[in-house]
Amino acid sequence: MRSCCHHLPLLLPFLFATVGGEAVSGLRICAYNVRKFDSQKAANFKVLHTLTRIISRCDIILLQEVTDSDGSAIKALLSSLNRYSGREAQRYEGYHYRSESSSSLGKSPSDMQKYVFIYRTETVSVLDRYQYQNQQQFVRPPLAVHFHSNKTAVKNFVLVGLHTDPGKAVQELDRLYDVFKEVLKKWDNKNVIFLGDFHASCAYVTRNDKKNIRLFTNTSFSWLIKDKMDTTITDETSCAYDRIVVYGKSFLKAIVPFSARVFNYAQEYKLSRARVLEVSDHFPVEVRLKSFALATQATPLLLLVSAVIHSFLSSL
């Protein structure tokens, strides 16, 4: 026993790294407000390259503020993704990307935007999609996509994307509960994640406003991007506009703990503020679903760690 304990300091990092390494292999889901992404922006090589690096990290990503009416910007982005061979994409070589897009949505011809889900066909597939129909409740009605993955512990799940109108953020966020009920009725699947630029912070959604939003008052919904996280880039704002919300305690258990975060690609890629603002004034947000392997192996690994620690303590 003394021999085992003597080597414990060397063994523990390996055990925790094994557990941790397994955890990070989950399916990554992202959301990103790309700020008026059109054909002109897609023609900017630096912008397109940065977007490609960001998106190539994700198994699924929801893009908002896509403003190209003919789809040319998304076509250029997909083309870039499908030939990308940069350092970040080395472990994803051979992956192919497709998209699911809404129609152009908005309150005026000058402010029409699309929701676009881009996903890896090798890790997920699309079972169905649903564009919320009540035009009176949202400026840009949410797009829901029913996904399937063999890689995850939960095989079928629904992503609902929303970019709220800033002046109507409280009302639109509350109405997401009605969208949830309709999605549940359509697909009979409670594994639902809401994500997007909700404007759910600062002056648009205050602490007092939360009591009027059912996704806040109903404890079945978990807000994974917290109020104090800053999803914006400029110094003038420090707001958690972009959010990820999960329904249900059982689905919450399928989320990799502490994986919800803001991806600060300015730091990651060592880009200047000016270069980053060419892409957007928001950072992406992300979360991971547990892989099937994690769900089946994590418990034995943790039990092994616990047993080693118990043995060490017993020998003292």
**Closest to 32 (Cα-Cα) out of 286, 288, 267:** 286
Query: For position 5, what pLDDT does the model report?
Result: 46
Sign (positive or negative) of CA dihedral 81, 109, 142, 216: positive
Residue type for position 51? L
pLDDT of residue 10: 45
pLDDT at 294 over 60: no
Contact 305, 12 (CB under 8 A): yes
Sheet holding 97-101, edge to edge: 97-101, 114-120, 60-66, 27-37, 285-289, 261-262
Whether 200 contacts 243, CB under 8 Å: yes
What pLDDT score was predicted for residue 293? 75
Range 45-64 average pLDDT: 97
Place of tokens 């009725």: 185
Q: Encoding tokens for residue 147? A: 């996904």
* Beta-carbon contacts of residue 55 (< 8 Å; ≥ 6 apart): 30, 32, 61, 77, 81, 97, 118
pLDDT in tens, 7-23: 444 444 444 434 444 44
Per-residue confidence (pLDDT) for residue 309, from 0 to 100: 47
What pLDDT is attached to residue 22? 40
pLDDT at 316: 53
Q: How confident is the model at residue 225 (pLDDT cuts 50, 70, 90)?
A: very high
Contacts (Cβ under 8 Å, ≥6 apart) of 51? 34, 37, 77, 80, 279
The phi-psi region of residue 134 (left if phi > 0; otherwise alpha if psi is between -120 and 50; otherwise beta) is: beta
For all residues of the chain together, what is the average pLDDT? 88
Which pLDDT band, with edges at 50, 70 and 90, does 84 fall under? confident
Cβ pair 60, 117 in contact under 8 A: yes
Enter the CATH code of domain 26-290. 3.60.10.10
Q: Please report, as a single letter, which amino acid is at residue 54.
A: I
List, in order, residues 6 or more apart from 280 with CB less than 8 Å away.
32, 33, 34, 35, 233
User: pTM value?
Assistant: 0.85
Give pLDDT tens digits for 130-179: 999 887 899 999 999 999 999 999 999 999 999 999 999 999 999 999 99
pLDDT tens readout for residues 175-203:
999 999 999 999 999 999 999 999 999 99
pLDDT value, residue 241: 98
Q: Per-residue pLDDT averaged across 273-294, rounded?
A: 94
Cβ(173)–Cβ(198) under 8 Å? yes
**How does DSSP assign 232-297, residue by residue?**
B-STT-----EEEEEE-HHHHTTBPTT--EE--HHHHTT--HHHHHHH-SB--EEEEEPBHHHHHH
Q: What is the pLDDT confidence band of residue 90, given thresholds at 50, 70 and 90?
A: low
Answer yes or no: is pLDDT of 65 > 90: yes
Which tens digits make up the pLDDT trace of 101-124? 999 999 889 899 999 999 999 999
pLDDT above 50 for 39: yes
Report the 10 Å Cβ neighbour count for 4: 12
